[in-house]
Chain A
Amino acid sequence: MTRDRITWIVLQTLAVAAGVWFAIWLYGKVAG
């Protein structure tokens, strides 16, 4: 696995985590 491939997978995993975190925050704000 090349370094670029690993970099992309790590970056996209962080993007998923950011999205999940934002959704939990938004849900808590609106419906919590």
Chain B
Amino acid sequence: MTTDTTTVPLKRVVWVLGSLAVTSAGITLLFLGMRAVMDIGGFCAEGGPFVIAHPCPEGVPLLMIGGIWIGLIAAFVYAWASIGAGVPTFTGLLWPALFMSLGWNFLQYAFDPPGGGGVVYGWLIPGILFELMGGIPLWVMIKTVGLTPQRGARVRSVLAPPGTKAVATAMRAVIGSSTSAASRAPKPDMVSELERLDTLHRSGSLSDAEYEKAKRRLLA
């Protein structure tokens, strides 16, 4: 089924966009809160019977904890809403966004710590680890399903049996050559041909223009 903005109910559109916005806000709050804590040495504490050497920046613990939990719940809602609706989804980007942005904080503060001085290895190592934890899945994702996979289209083309591509190539050859033998051959069952074209089109093997051209030729 080809999904577009007109076939997705408005309520679902609001869920997709709203939950994505809240997820982004959660990651951003965590990113900003982490920087505020790193500015005062990388840790802080509140309350308790002892004198606190590193009191937390005002409001930051609440924003960070709130950002984590609200962002996590919103991320699950977003995955459900976007994948369920069959629209292009950023779900796979959320993990790299989280780890690579926090990794950036570690790397930046490792090379340029607030108190000055040399490289802080205690922050450099987690920085590298975080970048790898975010970067490797991102690289694998780009190589396989792409940045914004879409249920039913992009993903299916990846999982499609190898024969599908051969059929699509043959179809292109038929479309490209008006005097080909295929065009002079007796026409197979038109309905099954149309269905096959539709499948190829939805799987992404045929572009919109190729699909329209092939369909016109078939119906002519």
Instruction: Report, as a range, how many residues of chain A touch the other chain.
Output: 20 to 34
Interface pairs (17), CB distance under 8 Å = A4-B5, A11-B5, A11-B17, A14-B17, A15-B24, A16-B21, A17-B24, A19-B20, A19-B24, A19-B28, A22-B21, A23-B29, A24-B28, A27-B32, A31-B32, A31-B33, A31-B36
Q: Is B60 a contact partner of A31 (Cβ separation < 8 A)?
A: yes
Chain A hits for B5, CB < 8 A:
4, 7-8, 11
Chain A hits for B150, CB < 8 A:
5
- Expressed in whole angstroms, the Cα–Cα distance for A7 and B32 within the complex equals 30
Q: Is B25 a contact partner of A23 (Cβ separation < 8 A)?
A: yes
Q: Assuming the A-B contacts A12-B90, A31-B57, are A19 and B25 also in contact, with contact meaning beta carbons closer than 8 angstroms in the complex?
A: yes
Instruction: Mark out the residues of chain B between 1 and 56 whose CB falls within 8 Å of any chain A CB in the assembled complex.
Output: 2-5, 13, 16-18, 20-26, 28-29, 32-33, 36
Q: Is B24 a contact partner of A27 (Cβ separation < 8 A)?
A: no
- Expressed in whole angstroms, the Cα–Cα distance for A20 and B153 within the complex equals 29
Q: Is B17 a contact partner of A27 (Cβ separation < 8 A)?
A: no
Contact of B29 among A9, A11, A12, A26 (CB under 8 A): A26
